[in-house]
Structure 1
Amino acid sequence: MSVSGLTTGDFTEESEPFALFGRWLKDAEASELNDPSAVALATVDGDGLPNVRMVLLKGYDQAGFVFYTNFESQKGTEILGQKKAAMCFHWKSLRRQVRLRGEVEVVTDAEADAYYATRPRGSRIGAWASKQSRPLEGRFALEKAVAEYTARYAIGEIPRPSHWSGFRIKPLSIEFWQDGAFRLHDRMEFRRSSPEGAWEKVRMYP
């Protein structure tokens, strides 16, 4: 069986996961209709209850997987409290999935500033106006806040709010899943004991 010209056995030859992830993401960018970088992000609160929601991956390299958010939001406070998170990419058109989990660090101010500057002006205003994850008494209150910050920053650059930045998940495990006939899927997990450790590759039962 093959998907996008890649047979299910091809990815088992990889010795590290990041190059493989890059190939799979490139395939997804060519085949997915909307947001190939969309990923389910899982966190846990102080009571041990999990939460999951969709975010957009904004970068990855050997150091980890980066996304941005309001640090005062539910996911922001949960990650800052636990310093751990997990992600799951699902590309339905390719019948592929990538799961990862690990420790989390805050990106540098320079990284956050550089990405914030690329956002549309309205999105930068929104970062100031939205008290993300907190109760909203009505839509008018949000529209009023947007109008106030639009007037405040009518001219010139819009600075990045101190509560808005990015997280980097430094994975301890990354699993690649490829759909197979009769539910005999192909699964390969890369594991390491620390973010600086060497990868171990393990084939998993479907």
Structure 2
Amino acid sequence: MGGPARPSHRDRLGPAGPLADDPAQRRGLFDAACEQFAPFVGLSGPPAVEAPPQLETDEDYRLALTVHMAALAAVDAVGRAGAPAPAGPVRVAAYLLRREREHWTRLYEHHPDRAPAAARIHTPPEVMAQVVHTATLTGPLPHDPAVAALAAAGVTGVQTHQAAGEILRDHARCYPRRRRCPATRRPAEPGSNRSTPIGSARTSSP
């Protein structure tokens, strides 16, 4: 159809690098991120969230990634029956890490009312934490190099190629590409690679 191409989520959110040097930009960046994250936590329409009180004055918010993380935490809190959003970048990071681990635990404990059978995993949360840490350092890898990376990192349970393949499949279930949030589609620094499957090219064992 005619007309200009619709901007992608990443174009609308902006890169996750140092984009928010101007404090006046930060509120708009925060609001845009909240709007894009809302569907991922089951909210429809622009969520009613408050921006962090120090958004325009705290130098930690010079990084767009920090603004995106604050937006994600704020929207997630609203999606959880209006729980209070964490205040400050350090508490935001701790909140998101805790929610991430809760996600692995929910899939591992096989709650039928919380996780469909196809999404359930057999890798314990403490092992998944090791896998996620390894993926953060390596980025996405084909299957065999991913298995080698897990073994080199000493990840628990990677005694055989088959066992490693099962762990990689579980990691892919925790971070399916089709459901990644817009601000994490192209990580800008190692700490945001969490959403990229380590064995993304082929997660089934040979």
Q: TM-score band, normalised by the shorter chain?
A: under 0.3
Q: More helix by proportion, 1 or 2?
A: 2
TM-score, length basis structure 2: 0.26
Work out which of the two has the higher radius of gyration on C-alpha atoms and give 1 or 2: 1
TM-score by length of 1: 0.26
